[in-house]
Chains A and B, each alone.
Chain A
Amino acid sequence: MTTKLLDVENLTMKFGGLVAIDDLSFSAAKDQITSIIGPNGAGKTTVFNCLTGFYKATAGSMFLNKENERLNLKKFSDFKVAQKAGVARTFQNIRLFPQMSVLENLMVAQHNKLMDASGFTILGLFNASSFVNKEKEAVEISKYWLDIIGLTHRADDDAGDLPYGDQRKLEIVRAMCINPHLLCLDEPAAGLNAKESAELNKLLLFIKNEKKTGILLIEHDMSVVMEISDHVVVLNYGKKIFQGSAKETKNSPAVIEAYLGTEE
């Protein structure tokens, strides 16, 4: 059964007189990949910024449905988005911690549980067993994800030294190390070659199927969108102009018009 994970209702975001998002409603399911597509400037990233507390939405509501609670995402900002609500995101440009090792990048994402185990650092300094065990556990989780993206052999290298495609994948698994309910990916395939985007597809399908994490995907690379999305939401000038399956989207006149214009 498909359960709704994210409900966005009548979301509106205005910057002065500019309406970036206009009365947008859609939902994303727990075990599905929902893609948000649209021409440049359609307001896709703004949706993410509202979801992750960067912007305060002018109107509308966003709810995240967990097993037994319904969280109003409007109430979360800053670090609480990840810590309390369980929403992780990536940006269009790569934002790893370039001067930390690959492993450490994944460890930072597991900070909160380690901080609790370290008894506010004091126990950590004395190498208390509770902290050491949690630290080992976190390393195991990191190794698990590194195995999946095939970067185990580079665990101790600086993240900034990885090839571009590997950095993209590392960024996605780093977000997964937060153990999120919803993963928001902003153009993860940008700048990847065909082989790399195929690998990306595999990774995203793995996250969807094995981890049951809902994925919200902004993407221009149609080979990615059409191949893996279960549901597509099309935006143009902040308005939703279409939603449906990948196949339906491909054939929708409204979508074709938004992308290519109309014939005179």
Chain B
Amino acid sequence: MDTAYFLQQLINGVTLGSVYGLIAIGYTMVYGIIGMINFAHGDIFMVGAFIALISFILFALTSIALPIVLLLTLLIAMVFTACYGWTVEKLAYKPLRKSFRLAPLISALGMSIVLQNYVQAAQGARIKTLQPVIQGGFTFMEDTGFTVSLSYLQIFIILVTIVLMAVFTLLITRTALGRAQRACEQDRTMTALMGINVDRTISITFIIGSSLASVAGMMFVMYYGVIDFYIGFLAGIKAFTAAVLGGIGSIPGAMLGGLLIGLIEVFWSGYISIEYKDIAAFTVLVVVLIFYPTGFLGKPDIEKV
């Protein structure tokens, strides 16, 4: 029974970690390129979840086959949420780019509140529910007394996450755009002098981060079936923790951090106490930062003298 229970927690943890990882990439990319924590990113995730929910409900009225519904919802959520992310960047961060470092941080907090209240006003403050979209799954190890289940939904979430992360890793390492992004991270003035449109590169970064967060939002609403306008806060903080744990600025770090936070949370709930699961994740962060101040995969800031 012990192995079965462990396996179940592992499956749940990886699923949750996928969601955190997708959000964390948005934090880490934005931090990497403009050195700012986008506090509105959790709320972008929430907006993505709402868009996915609305899209699912609308598609439920039609008789389109499930795989197509999933694909369309994914695209709709990504495109619309990317628009939100892009708008937030244009309105709240771009005008402050030459300002002091804290200014965009404060406008990010403002944007976070704006988005929450906007969704609250537009969609109501009550919890929204979604009927399970993907049902069924595999069960195994039934003879041990504890049945391990791996739902199709979990497989879907993990697969989509792996595919998206692979695509975006390719984008960063292989394409001209990714190269420009990495150049912006190191020296924006010099990047502009290479003839590269830095503002556009930053906007694209926000668009990529937001669309990944929207996928996380879609997974979240499918997995839990309930959302409200406030989910972005805790999920955002957890994903931010994940990004810091993995090493902020590093994309593989964000993925690793997301996975770790998901696993820690689930194992803590499964073995110790479900009430303190949030504290567990943050405590691990504190402990890790003592020994790895830049996170697991972060690059240490070397100052040359």
Show the binding face of A for B, using Cβ within 8 Å: 52, 78-83, 88-89, 91, 95-100, 104, 107-109, 111-112, 114-115, 118, 120-121, 124-125, 135, 174, 178
Contacts and interface: CB of A to CB of B under 8 A. Distances in A.
Contacts of A174: 194
B195 A125 contact: no
B194 A82 contact: yes
Interface string B180-194: 101100110111111
B92 interface: no
Given A100-B183, A108-B183, 5 more contacts: A52-B193, A95-B187, A107-B176, A124-B175, A124-B177
A121 B196 contact: no
What band does the interface of chain B fall in when counting residues whose beta carbon is under 8 Å from A?
Answer: 20 to 34
B195 A178 contact: yes
Given A97-B183, A98-B186, A112 B196 contact: yes
A121 B176 contact: yes
Given A78-B198, A79-B198, A108-B194, A125 B186 contact: no
Contacts of B183: 97, 100, 108, 111
Nearest to B191: A108
A104 B183 CA distance: 9
B121 interface: no
B195 A82 contact: yes
A219 B174 CA distance: 38
B176 A118 contact: yes
B176 A97 contact: no
A79 B192 contact: yes
Contact of B194 (A111, A121, A125): A111
B148 to A, nearest CB: 37
Contacts of A178: 194-195
Interface in B126-185: 167, 170-171, 174-177, 179-180, 182-183
Interface in B169-227: 170-171, 174-177, 179-180, 182-183, 186-187, 189-198
A157 B54 CA distance: 50
B182 A125 contact: no
B187 A124 contact: no
Contact of B179 (A79, A99, A108, A120): A108
Contacts of B197: 78-79, 83
Contacts of B299: 99
11 contacts: A83-B196, A96-B190, A99-B299, A100-B186, A104-B182, A108-B183, A111-B194, A114-B176, A120-B177, A124-B177, A174-B194
Given A52-B193, A79-B196, A79-B198, A99 B176 contact: no
Given A97-B186, A99-B186, A99-B299, A104 B179 contact: yes
A115 B191 contact: no
B193 A115 contact: no
Interface centre among B167, B189, B192, B299, by most A CB within 10 Å? Answer: B192
B194 A124 contact: no
Contacts of A107: 176, 179
Nearest to A54: B189
A80 B182 CA distance: 20
Contacts of A104: 179, 182
Nearest to A179: B195
A114 B174 CA distance: 12
Contacts of A98: 186
Contact of B171 (A83, A88, A125, A135): A125
A174 B190 CA distance: 11
Contact of B190 (A97, A111, A121, A124): A97
Most chain B Cβ neighbours within 10 Å, of A78, A79, A112, A118: A79
B195 A118 contact: no
A78 B187 CA distance: 13
A28 B52 CA distance: 60
A125 B170 contact: yes
A121 B189 CA distance: 23
Nearest to B197: A79
From B194, B197, B198, residue with most partner A Cβ within 10 Å: B194
Given A111-B179, A121-B175, A79 B187 contact: no
A111 B177 CA distance: 8
Given A97-B187, A100-B186, A124-B176, A111 B171 contact: no
